């Protein structure tokens, strides 16, 4: 492994960027230089990282000169402009937006699942959608042992997945509901406080939202299996952090609950809650700030042959985004495919 790397964090003042920096505080990744980048509006603030106060700079193409890893967590539109500039200047881009995920020459990586895919990168590696990541972490050990025929997933996604403005909207609506009716929503199509919204992104001609299409397409790409039948329903819920998923699976051959438990228990980065103890199954409130994907409520699904049902919870800002980005960088370094 190289002795240290030069890193640029684009979107350093956003929710994922801030979580990225919090993880770096105690992470063993060796860093020579850390550059914090953001929009012109957010530039000029100071952030303390590993004991040093670093000034946030405005992002320009020149910001990537001499950089090894550019971690980008901004909108797809902005990332589409910045990522090629970073690659042009020699940086390996690890991108958190949807801009590059489904492009043929871009690996879409969860290191515990398809870490070897980093070896064929051409300068950009994409991070999956947060809801896809926790789903695939649970699917992978099962699918590897007994091929999946069909996946049905319903998500319950936290407000932080929509950014800082969304969290502010939830907080304001909660406060206003104590004294009067909530204000007109700005981030979401309906009020989010004390509500659920079965829409994340625009709908396509078939009635699927953008988030639902992402889960379907990304899962197939990561698992290298375009034939898995997948249906998704994505719902925004008034939870601050952590996404939850109800997952129903149909396998090629019989899959017992005990066998599934064992396979999941042996998966790195995943923990099984087996119904005993003070916390018999995963819930978002208790798992925010944690790094693993948690699985519980493992049971037979009697509605189909060879069926199984699961409940999956994970911190969408950590394993769903920032932590996965750092793990991708580690994978690149361990496999010696950082092109310097």
- Residue 321 structure tokens: 């985004």
> What sign for the dihedral angle of Cα 170, 37, 86, 123?
negative
Beta bridge partners of 151: 230, 249
Locus of tokens 């980008």: 72
Known catalytic membership, residue 243: yes
- Residue 327 structure tokens: 């793990």
Indicate which residue of 121, 143, 242, 243 is catalytic: 243
- The backbone torsions φ and ψ at residue 2, rounded to the nearest 5 degrees and listed phi first, read -65, 155
Per DSSP bridges, beta strands 92-95 and 124-126 are parallel
Indicate which residue of 130, 143, 234, 242 is catalytic: 130
CA distance 122 to 104: 11
Are residues 272 and 298 in contact, defined by beta-carbon separation less than 8 angstroms?
yes
DSSP state of 277: S
CA distance 47 to 190: 34
Are residues 43 and 56 in contact, defined by beta-carbon separation less than 8 angstroms?
yes
CA distance 335 to 331: 6
CA proximity to 129, closest of 194, 205, 61, 200: 200
Q: How many CA atoms within 13 Å lie on the side-chain side of 194?
A: 9
**Cα separation values, 143 from 31, 147, 180, 311, Å:** 37, 5, 50, 16
CA distance 23 to 244: 22
CA distance 330 to 336: 10
CA distance 146 to 251: 6
Known catalytic membership, residue 26: no
CA distance 35 to 6: 8
* CA-angle at 31, arms to 338 and 58, nearest 5°: 90
* Residues catalogued as catalytic: 130, 243
């Amino acid at each position: 492994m190289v002795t240290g790397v030069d890193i640029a964090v684009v979107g350093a003042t956003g929710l994922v960027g801030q979580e990225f920096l919090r993880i770096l505080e105690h992470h063993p990744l060796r860093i020579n230089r850390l550059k914090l980048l953001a929009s012109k509006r957010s530039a000029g603030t100071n952030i303390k990282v590993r004991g040093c106060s670093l000034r946030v700079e405005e992002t320009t193409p020149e910001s990537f000169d001499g950089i090894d890893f550019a971690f980008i967590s901004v909108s797809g539109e902005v990332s589409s402009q910045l990522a090629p500039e970073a690659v042009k200047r020699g940086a390996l881009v690890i991108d958190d937006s949807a801009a590059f995920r489904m492009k043929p020459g871009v690996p879409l990586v969860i290191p515990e699942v398809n870490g070897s895919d980093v070896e064929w990168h051409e300068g950009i590696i994409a991070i999956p959608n947060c809801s896809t990541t926790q789903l695939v972490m649970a699917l992978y050990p099962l699918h590897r042992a007994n091929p999946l025929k069909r996946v049905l997933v319903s998500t319950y996604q936290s407000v932080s997945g929509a950014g800082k403005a969304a969290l502010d909207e939830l907080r304001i609506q909660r406060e206003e509901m104590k004294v009067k009716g909530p204000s007109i929503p700005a981030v979401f199509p309906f009020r989010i406080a004390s509500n659920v919204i079965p829409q994340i992104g625009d709908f396509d001609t078939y009635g699927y939202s953008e988030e639902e299409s992402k889960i379907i397409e990304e899962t197939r790409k990561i698992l290298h299996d375009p034939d898995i039948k997948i249906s998704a329903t994505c719902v925004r819920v008034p939870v601050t952090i952590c996404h939850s998923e109800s997952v129903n699976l149909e396998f090629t051959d019989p899959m017992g609950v005990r066998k599934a438990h064992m396979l999941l228990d042996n998966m790195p980065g995943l923990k099984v809650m087996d119904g005993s103890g003070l916390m018999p199954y995963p819930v978002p409130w208790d798992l925010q700030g944690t790094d693993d994907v948690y699985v519980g409520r493992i049971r037979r699904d009697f509605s189909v042959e060879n069926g199984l049902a699961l409940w999956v919870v994970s911190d969408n800002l950590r394993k769903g985004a920032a932590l996965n980005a750092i793990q991708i960088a580690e994978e690149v370094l361990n496999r010696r495919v950082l092109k310097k």
